[in-house]
Amino acid sequence: MVLVVDTDFTVKLLKTLPHLMYQLFHNVTHIEFSQTGEDVKLNKTQQKTLMILYSEQSLNMSTSCRILNMEKGSFTSVIDNLIRFELVERKRDDKDRRKVHINLTAAGRKLVKQRMDLISKQIEQKLAVLSDKDYNRFINAVEILEDITAKLGAK
């Protein structure tokens, strides 16, 4: 099968997905916490990293960089700060010492779980403007995108 992707479709794709993410996640609760009496507010990259680690359990540095679309050097400083906040830890792969895995600590998992519950409620409020039909279509579209993303990543 020969697929033809025209410019209009490409523009729609480049515009729609980031705009959707903005609509859903702009102004959602930022992750803030107190550590040894000091208030800490995580930046968006740190928050995304925690959310991805929460959903994936454990990732190596390379995969994390690919998911977040970051260079390894830049991502290292993100991880260094999250380690300093005691939210993540690095572990070397027992079988391949070159690989470094990143995991949430117990404190990191607890913090993200609390925030995910809040974020879920905020997204629920934003989606409340949709009719039942549009809500079901949206859920179906997300499931289709998840499936397609997995297939594209398998190559």
Alpha helices per DSSP H over 7-131: 7-25, 44-56, 61-68, 72-84, 106-127
Q: Rounded CA gap, 78 and 72, in Å?
A: 10
Domains defined along the chain, listed by start: 7-153 (1.10.10.10)
Q: Rounded CA gap, 55 and 143, in Å?
A: 15
* Buried-exposed string 87-101: b where 16+ CB fall within 10 A, e elsewhere: bbeeeeeeeeeeebb
Tens-digit pLDDT profile for residues 51-87: 899 988 788 888 888 888 899 889 999 999 999 999 9
Tens-digit pLDDT profile for residues 23-45: 887 777 666 666 655 677 888 88
Tokens 């990543």 -> residue = 153
pLDDT of residue 49: 92
- For residue 8, pLDDT over 80 is answered with yes
The pairing of strands 58-60 and 88-92 is unpaired
Q: Which helix (H) or strand (E) covers residue 137, if one does?
A: helix 132-153
- CB count within 10 Å of CB 146 equals 10
The pairing of strands 38-41 and 88-92 is unpaired
pLDDT of residue 29: 63
Q: Which of 101, 5, 120 is nearest to 51 (CA)?
A: 120
Question: Could you give phi then psi for residue 85, rounded to 5 degrees?
Answer: -80, 0
